[in-house]
Amino acid sequence: MGQQVRQRRRRPTLKDVSAQAGVSVKTVSRVVNGETNVTPALAERVRTAVESLGYAPDPLASRLRRGRGPIGAVAVVVEDAANPFSTVMHRAVTDAMAARGVVTLSASYDKDPGGERTAVLAFTSRRVDGVILMPTTADHPWLDELRETGTEVVLVDRPVAGLRADVVMSDHRAAARRATTHLLRHGHHRIGFLADAPDVYTTVERLAGFDEILTAAAVSGHDGLVRDELRGAGAAEQAVIDLLAGDDPPTALIAGQNLLAIGAFRALRRLNLHHRIALVSLDDIPLADLLDPGITVVAQEPERIGALAAQQLLGRIAGDHTPATPHLVPTQLIPRGSGEIPGPFLNAANTPEVSAVEQSQPHF
């Protein structure tokens, strides 16, 4: 009985369809592949058998039969698939590809350059047509070699130094400039910054935007308020506790990414300072509007980034050979309460007037 169950559940094959329709395997193959040199009556018998058996073509087997032809698949490789930004971006890619009948494969490498390379090469060895990659900070000479084999690559969230490739990312520097200006205008001069690894492109750009605004506002003495190398919410929580225990603590905080913002808010709640210390996150957080206070964010648009990356990759696969260019996606400040907590200099005359925060340029 068990063997019979296993047989009934196995994947139907062309031979199964052939037997049920009473036609040759070659005829079934022609109908399944959309060829027109089959009589309407035979084609209808094949389609009826396909529907009855629940047959679906195996794209890998089809590719092997054709030799080195495409299998209609792309890969998405990100740093952390559990991060809300990556999750939304990945979904946008999947939706865009599905609309074109393209399968999306995915992997994450947890900030490990070796894992990044292994994942990308594993997908390309299976002949995916292209890769959307959120790169690590490591050197990527192997990406140049990969592209020479004909595999198209589009980068998201950050570029690779020295690699002329399409990049779709947020305007990270402008996001930090906007957050810092917002806090200064609400009376804060002692602003702490919670950052990821300092060699990550997004961290570099966001810290640069933070420094630019403080310099323009002639606000000094903030170097000791930057904490970097923070790996996740737990590290950010402890960093905030340490900052606020100092002799001259910050009155406001900027979290350099969403997971760090979660840790920062936990620390403020733990210290009962969440209504006294301002907080702005440089990325949105699920349910951030339901907290007390709601977390003010400079929101990225991961859905738009994913859709643009998919569009760019499909264009490259189709033969677009125009020069590679970065695609900067603007960010949006969403005030929800935490970033509007007033600071000690709220009515001071030296509140900065920094214009054109959208005009920052990416530095590759």
Task: Give 184-196 pLDDT, tens digit per residue.
Answer: 999 999 999 999 9
Residues with Cβ within 8 Å of residue 295, at least 6 apart in sequence = 261, 265, 279, 280, 281, 285, 288, 289, 336, 337, 338, 339
CA dihedral in degrees (141, 143, 147, 148; nearest 10)?
30
Q: Is residue 357 predicted with pLDDT exceeding 70? A: no
107: amino acid identity, one letter: A
Rounded Cα distance between 209 and 334, Å, is 18
Cα torsion 117, 123, 127, 130: sign = negative
DSSP label at 158?
Answer: S
The pLDDT of residue 5? 37
> Do the beta carbons of residue 313 and residue 74 sit within 8 Å?
yes
pLDDT at 60: 43
The span from the CA of 116 to the CA of 13, in Å, is: 36
State both tokens at 15: 């031979």
**171 or 51, which is more confident?**
171
Token pair 């947020």: residue: 170
Burial group, residue 317, by CB count within 10 angstroms (0-12, 13-18, 19+): middle
Q: What is the DSSP letter of 310?
A: H
Mean pLDDT for 125-143 is 87
Q: Give pLDDT, residue 200.
A: 87
Look-up: residue for tokens 């296993």? Answer: 6
The DSSP code for 290 is G
Q: Are the C-beta atoms of 176 and 331 separated by less than 8 Å?
A: no
Please name which of 346, 355, 297 lies closest in space to residue 189, comparing C-alpha atoms. Answer: 346
pTM, entire model: 0.74
Mean pLDDT of 51-58: 74
Q: Is the pLDDT of residue 65 over 90?
A: no
pLDDT digits (tens, 9 = 90+) for 141-180: 888 888 877 889 999 999 998 888 899 999 999 999 999 9
What secondary structure letter does DSSP report for 294? Answer: B
- Structural tokens at position 330: 């603007």
Query: Is the pLDDT score of 218 beyond 80?
Result: yes
